Structure formats: structure tokens, C-alpha cells
Amino acid sequence: MRFSQLTSALVVAAVGSSAVNGLNILISNDDGFGTANIREMYKAVKAYGHTVWIVASVTNQSGAGGTAIYTTERNLTIDSEFGIVKKGQPSVGADPNDSHIWYYNGTPSACVQVALDYVLPRYANFSTPDLVLSGPNYGLNLGPFLYTLAGTLGAAYTAVERSIPAIAFSGGTSVQTAYYHVNTTTSAGLKDTATIYGELAANLAQQLITNVAKKGGGRLLPPGYGINVNMPFITSFTNDSCINPPFIHTRLTGGADVDEAVYNSTTGLFTWGNVVPEGANTCINGDCSLPGETDILNAGCQSSVSVFTVDYDAPLACHASPDLRGDLAPLVQYANSTIKVGGLDGTSSVTNGTAVITAATPTSTLFPVGNVGAGSFRVSRVASGLGMVLVVVADLWL
């Protein structure tokens, strides 16, 4: 009963939103072009009326993160996953059953780049997608550690870095299946988990598309922005206790685990364990009032939606507390410094606002000041003008 209500809600949503269609969407993942989740998301996004292409890895590339590895073999040296494409076929090509579905023998990041720079410009009727969707991954990708470890995220932030809005999707149901093993109904009479993940992902993307269109259209996300979505374990195989999770706005940090090395003295080998350290969970940038995505997934049948940017540099704390800028001075200087001390002059220090330079040769990329002699000296005054710098050496320091 509950499920048939959900089904009609999804159909109504699809019909109701069909006015906002016709976007160009690229889909990738890290589990490979033949897995059920990516194909079900492809179908659900296409059902909204968009032009959709898949370019994804020919094999399982789980854990590749954002690394871009391109094959050095012109042809496949082994069969693709699930034997969809046989060895000896070109390393980049279309699925035999759908000319909009392409595989490439590379990492997820490489696949996105091959899509943007080769497949779409040559074979599609657009070159730059309006949106890139990655996943839905088999297994959750929660927290800053997975942000860089996961190929699903790697494909998404590669697209963001190439100026294309992107959303990464991951699901807690982690057994990879082939696209042709999607059941129309499970033994509990519900939809396949892959179908539910695909529809949830498509609905979230369509919500963004619809709302941006209502505001007059334009980019779906500002440059440098992406979204990371985690969906919980779907129970549709056995019951309907978690088949329609709500989406909750979250942030990456908060309750997130990272790896630790666990030594096995019998085998002499290491494996990984989970720890939840402060380093991966300190809120430094952004809205610290949002719950951590890990905490939201741990709390039950709900999905997390974290907005991220690929600009993770220059936290404001550098100028406040802790004063990291001060802790690096004077060896690290502002670009507008009137005198630049060479980076090998490692024992420079500031005493009461006075730069003390202990090396023989202060160097400058902007103003070459020349060799002012061996030994240490105190700079009592620095003036610049007419392209030269006057360094007044008041007294020897050593």
C-alpha cells in the first residue's frame, strides 16, 4: 500500500515537472558503466525529458578518488565488467545496446574528462553538460575522508573543477549488480533498490532544475560548487521500512570516520579500521549549525545533502585564532611585502616589529637587493622607490 502511494507520487512529480526538461546531462560513476544503479538513474533522469549521456569506467574503479589515470592500451586487454564489451574492443566506445552509453578504460575522473573533451563534442549534440551526476555509488561516501577517497566524489569534483555543476550520489546498499539483473519487483513486492536510488537521485536533481528555472534559469550551481548526497540502506528487498527516505541538509564534517592501520601479527599485514578523530570533524569553514552527514545517516532512514566547494583553501582562522600567519612570519611574507627574505634564510625572526635576517644574501623576486655581506644584521629601515629597495643596516645581530 505504502509503496503504491509512493509510485503514484513519483509519477505525478515526473508529469508535473516535465515543463522543465531538455537539459543536457552527463552521468558517470566509479562502479562502472554496466552496474544497475547508474542505469536506473539514467532511465529516471531521461524520464524527465532530458538529453542524457553516460560515460563511465569499463571496470569497477571504486576507491580511485579524483586521480586521473588514462589507459595506455588502445584496445581492452580484458572483458569489461559483466562481459558487456569483449577484450580487443577499443578502450573507449559505446555500449552495444545504447549509443548514449559510453565506457572508457580509465578512472572516474579520467572518464569525465574523456566525456567532456572527446565523447560529447564528437558524438552528442552538445559539448558542455548543464549538470553532471555521479553514482549512485554502491556504499556510503560520508565525510571529508571519503570526499577525496571515493571515485564517485572524484568524478563530481572533476566536473566542478571544469566549471560544471555536479551532484555525487551514494547509497548504503553496497552489493554491485549488473543492469540486466534489476528486478521489476523484489520478493517483498517492492521496487529494486537500484530503481529506488535512481529515482531518488533523479528527483533531487529535478528539484534543483525546477527551482532554478522558476528563478529565471541559468547555472544550476555557482562555479566551484557541488553537492554530495548519501542515501540510506534501502530495505525494499524484504520490507517497506526504508524505501522513501527524506533528504536532510547537512555538512561533510561531524561524526565522520577515517582509516587507521590495524596490524595483524599472525599475517604480518595491515588492514584498516575506523576512527572518528577531531581532525576530520572540526568545523572550520561554512555553516557549523548543520548536522554532519555521517550523524544523519546513522540516525535512521534519511538521506544527507551536503553542499561543498572545491575551494577549501585560506581559512579565515589563518588571520585570527590560531594566528597561523603570525606563526609563519617573517619567513612567509605577504605578496605586497616591500622586502622579501629568501626562503633558505630559515632563521629569520621578528623582534618587536623589526625583521632580523640571519643569512648572508637576502633575496627578492620583486626587488633584488644584492649581497649585503656575510653575517647577521638588523634591518632598521626599509624604503622602496624607483624600482630599488634601500635597506638600512643598523647593527650586526650576532
Which one of 214, 352, 374, 395 is in contact with ligand NAG (CB under 6 A)? 352
* Residue 386, phi then psi, degrees to nearest 5: 50, 35
Please count the residues of this chain forming the interface with ligand NAG, following the rule CB under 6 A: 30
Residue 127 is a catalytic residue? no
Minimum CB separation of residue 214 from ligand NAG in Å reads: 23
Minimum CB separation of residue 243 from ligand NAG in Å reads: 10
Amino acid letter for position 75: N
CB 90 within 8 A of CB 19: no
Judged by CB under 6 A, does residue 123 bind ligand NAG? no
Segment 173 to 202, residues that bind ligand NAG, using CB under 6 A: 176-177, 180-181, 183, 186-187, 192
User: How far is 111 from 8, CA to CA, in rounded Å?
Assistant: 36
Radius of gyration of the chain (CA): 27
Q: Which stretch binds ligand NAG (CB under 6 A): 39-47, 56-64, 128-136, 217-225?
A: 56-64
Instruction: Write out the H or E segment, with its range, that includes residue 360.
Output: none
Residues 80, 170, 304, 348: which is the catalytic one? Answer: 170
How many Å separate Cα 236 from the centre of its chain? Answer: 29
* Residue 42, phi then psi, degrees to nearest 5: -55, -50
CB 203 within 8 A of CB 225: no
For ligand NAG, the closer of residues 182 and 290 by Cβ is 182
Minimum CB separation of residue 238 from ligand NAG in Å reads: 4
For ligand NAG, the closer of residues 241 and 371 by Cβ is 241
* Residues 62-91 as b or e (16 or more Cβ within 10 Å = b): bebbbbbeebeeeebeeebbbebbeeebeb
The DSSP secondary structure of 238-295, one letter per residue, reads: T-STTSSPPEEEEBS-SS--EEEEEEETTTTEEEEEEE--STTT---SS-TTSPBHHH
For ligand NAG, the closer of residues 145 and 308 by Cβ is 145
For ligand NAG, the closer of residues 107 and 250 by Cβ is 107
Segment 240 to 279, residues that bind ligand NAG, using CB under 6 A: 241, 264, 266-267
For ligand NAG, the closer of residues 176 and 253 by Cβ is 176
Judged by CB under 6 A, does residue 99 bind ligand NAG? no
Minimum CB separation of residue 373 from ligand NAG in Å reads: 25
The backbone region for 138, taken as left when phi is positive above 0, alpha when psi lies in -120 to 50, beta otherwise, is: beta
Q: Which stretch binds ligand NAG (CB under 6 A): 128-136, 162-170, 230-238, 283-291?
A: 230-238
Instruction: Write out the H or E segment, with its range, that includes residue 317.
Output: none
Minimum CB separation of residue 108 from ligand NAG in Å reads: 12
Segment 7 to 46, residues that bind ligand NAG, using CB under 6 A: none
Pairing relationship of beta strands 388-396 and 377-385 according to DSSP bridges: antiparallel
Segment 291 to 330, residues that bind ligand NAG, using CB under 6 A: none
Judged by CB under 6 A, does residue 206 bind ligand NAG? no
Amino acid letter for position 323: D
For ligand NAG, the closer of residues 183 and 309 by Cβ is 183
The DSSP secondary structure of 193-222, one letter per residue, reads: HHHHHHHHHHHHHHHHHHHHHHTT---SS-
Question: How many CB atoms sit inside 10 A of residue 144's CB?
Answer: 18
For ligand NAG, the closer of residues 208 and 329 by Cβ is 329
Residues that bind ligand NAG (CB under 6 A): 51, 60, 62-63, 74-75, 88, 90, 96-97, 125, 176-177, 180-181, 183, 186-187, 192, 235, 237-239, 241, 264, 266-267, 334, 336, 352
Active-site annotation, residues: 170
